[in-house]
Amino acid sequence: MTASTSKISQTVRLMIVDDDTSLRLVLRQQFEAEGLRIIQEADSLAQAYPMIADFNPDMVLLDVQLPDGSGFDICKTLRAQGFDKPILMLTGQDSEQDIIMGLEAGANDYIAKPMRMGELLARMKTHLRQHKLSDDARFDINGLDFIPSAKTIASRISASKVKLTEKETMILKLLNKNAPHMVMREDMLSEIWGFQKGLTTHTLETHIYRLRQKLARITDEPVIITAQDGYRLADK
């Protein structure tokens, strides 16, 4: 394996989920040579789930075949819980079926073993850069300047700004993505909170109420409209 000359940012938090101890060691050594220092490893689904929740990685390298299940399952679960960082699937077979299943599960890309380090690094850099660009984007929401990466929304008239929570940011991103259409309450719960036990629409309604209170500090115009079965952004 040969490392790329262009370094990945040292602040990137990388999670490797693979039951091959030797491969994880080689990958860690190569990544450390690239300047990466914030790396966590897991060898099973059971180990990966809590570690990812605590570690909050910027990227996950996820093996398809794990001792206690399929990497496709954890990929689907992470996406359902709102994890939007890049996920690259590592597959032992360069098969079309694996590719389709991985992409349908929500993976950004796949790479077949035995992998070429230069190719893996190039793909990692591409997806990290694309994610950063999409997250650094500014959105115009009814005359307000919404910056998801900063978790802020500001008035373009008065320059007043409010700080948003992670869930409030995700709500606005989801509504903006689907505008001008309505998003069903159940779909919002699934997209933002995942399939957590005990969740009801009251959870969503509480967050919408608090978000509206914040928005009212910077604009007199309605931003989020309540529809019969969900919510949508107000018409511009």
- Are residues 151 and 123 located together in one domain of the fold? no
Task: Give me the residue label for tokens 């893996």.
Answer: 120
Residue 6 located in a structural domain: no
- Are residues 123 and 175 located together in one domain of the fold? no
- Are residues 121 and 162 located together in one domain of the fold? no
How confident is the model at residue 197, as a pLDDT? 53
pTM of the model as a whole:
0.58
For the chain, what is the domain count? 2
178-192 tens-digit pLDDT? 889 999 998 898 888
Of 73, 105, 135, the residue at which a domain comes to its end is: 135
Residue 2 located in a structural domain: no
Residue 4 located in a structural domain: no
Rounded to whole angstroms, what are the CA distances from 1 to 6, 42, 207? 15, 22, 48
Q: How confident is the model at residue 5 (pLDDT cuts 50, 70, 90)?
A: very low
- Are residues 130 and 144 located together in one domain of the fold? no
CB-based contacts of 112, cutoff 8 Å, min separation 6: 91, 92, 93, 94
- Are residues 130 and 157 located together in one domain of the fold? no
How confident is the model at residue 29, as a pLDDT? 94
Residue 46 CA to residue 69 CA, distance in Å, equals 9
Under 8 Å between Cβ of 96 and 110: no
- Are residues 77 and 186 located together in one domain of the fold? no
Q: How confident is the model at residue 3 (pLDDT cuts 50, 70, 90)?
A: very low
Residue 162 located in a structural domain: yes
Beta strands in the chain (DSSP E): 13-17, 38-42, 59-63, 65-66, 69-70, 87-91, 109-112, 139-141, 144-147, 152-155, 161-163, 183-184, 224-226, 230-233
Summary mean pLDDT of the chain: 87
- Are residues 76 and 146 located together in one domain of the fold? no
- Are residues 68 and 131 located together in one domain of the fold? yes
Of 81, 108, 135, the residue at which a domain comes to its end is: 135
How confident is the model at residue 105, as a pLDDT? 86
Domain of residue 34 covers: 13-135
Q: Give the CATH number, domain containing residue 47.
A: 3.40.50.2300
- Are residues 69 and 164 located together in one domain of the fold? no
Check whether 143 has a pLDDT greater than 90: no
Over residues 14-19, mean pLDDT: 96
User: 3-state DSSP call for residue 87?
Assistant: strand
Q: Give the CATH number, domain containing residue 201.
A: 1.10.10.10
27-40 tens-digit pLDDT? 999 999 988 989 99
Q: What count of residues does the chain have? A: 236
Phi, psi of 217 (to 5 degrees): -75, -25
Check whether 233 has a pLDDT greater than 90: yes
How confident is the model at residue 99, as a pLDDT? 73
Q: How confident is the model at residue 198 (pLDDT cuts 50, 70, 90)?
A: low
Of 120, 135, 150, the residue at which a domain comes to its end is: 135
Check whether 4 has a pLDDT greater than 60: no
72-89 tens-digit pLDDT? 999 999 988 888 889 999
Under 8 Å between Cβ of 201 and 185: yes
Q: How confident is the model at residue 205 (pLDDT cuts 50, 70, 90)?
A: very high
How confident is the model at residue 216, as a pLDDT? 96
How confident is the model at residue 132, as a pLDDT? 75
Amino acid at residue number 58: D
- Are residues 119 and 201 located together in one domain of the fold? no
Residue 3 located in a structural domain: no
Q: Is the dihedral of CA 207, 212, 217, 219 positive or negative?
A: positive
Q: What angle do CA 138, 84, 78 make, to 5 degrees?
A: 160
How confident is the model at residue 222, as a pLDDT? 94
Residue 1 located in a structural domain: no
